[in-house]
Amino acid sequence: MRKIIVAGNWKMNLNFEEAKSLFMALNQADLSQNRLEKVLIFPPYPYLKPLLDMKDNEVIQVGAQNISSQEKGAFTGEVSANMLSSIGIKYTLVGHSERRALSGDTHELLKEKVNRALESGLIPVFCCGETLDQRENGSFKQVIENQLQESLFHLSNDDVSKVIIAYEPVWAIGTGKTASTAQAEEMHEFIRGVFSSIYGAELGEKLHILYGGSCNAANSSELFSSENVDGGLIGGASLKIDEFTEIISNLNG
Ligand code: PGA
């Protein structure tokens, strides 16, 4: 039985003082839920090391929101997977829809980012999701399969077994419009099936697939009780300590 992973994507929010107090409150919260595997927090780069140093709760892990597709060198403004790994970071988001839409993260670039992450020992949380147009014109399953195919399916069994998937329909991100539990379950089951058909049922069964897109304390319990939904990647609601910890404590009920 897969346990739940609750992840918070802080995006480009919070000053350092706000980030420290939010993280400290989470660090001190009671996160001892049987169904909880871990809590992943993705703060902006400058806060990674300070927050990692503050952390004394084993359940919490800190990850980066993005990495460079390059190993090292003359790439001003970029941060490599190796650098992150050298300060103790173990996770990174790859392919968040905001980066696909606003920062030119193509399938090919994301494939390289996945490679750099795995080479450096980082676990990629690979995001995929369709736009509203793609949902409405019925191509959404093909779109997701293509995103996975182009950036992940070159990986060996061993490497792909380290990856966590986040299914985040673009039309649900930051819009307050959550996918229904049935829509999420349909897509998660589909994604698991695609992995199983390529890498075998055993790997498919173990794969963690998180849901993202306006996930909050009011809808998380129902979403996370769905068979193929193994947790959430949470944006807005991860910035509010009461709501974020409620999402975790709801795992009990
Ligand atoms: P949201 O963002 O929860 O604010 O919709 C989710 C995400 O972008 O990962």
Query: pLDDT of 130-166, one tens digit each?
Result: 999 999 999 999 999 999 999 999 999 999 999 999 9
Question: Given pLDDT bands bounded at 50, 70 and 90, which one contains residue 253?
Answer: low
Q: Is the pTM of this model over 0.85?
A: yes
* 245/183 Cα distance (integer angstroms): 25
CA distances from 71 to 82, 113, 117, 145, 219 (A): 7, 9, 10, 27, 40
Q: Is the CB of 216 under 6 A from ligand 1?
A: no
Q: Is the CB of 174 under 6 A from ligand 1?
A: yes
Predicted local confidence at residue 163, as pLDDT:
98
Predicted local confidence at residue 252, as pLDDT:
78
- Annotated active-site residue 243? The verdict is no
Q: Is pLDDT above 90 for 4? A: yes
Number of domains in the chain: 1
What's 99's domain CATH number? 3.20.20.70
Q: Is the CB of 231 under 6 A from ligand 1?
A: no
Q: Which residue has a Cα nearest atom 3 of ligand 1? A: 235
* 251/240 Cα distance (integer angstroms): 18
- Annotated active-site residue 208? The verdict is no
Q: Please give the distance, rounded to the nearest whole angstrom, from the Cα atom of residue 237 to the centre of ligand 1.
A: 8
Do 9 and 233 touch, CB atoms closer than 8 A? yes
Per the structure, the complete domain to which residue 53 belongs is given by: 4-71+78-252
Nearest by Cα to 186 from 151, 153, 223, 149: 223
Q: Is 193 buried (19+), middle (13-18) or exposed (0-12) by CB count in 10 A?
A: middle
Q: Which residue has a Cα nearest atom 2 of ligand 1? A: 235
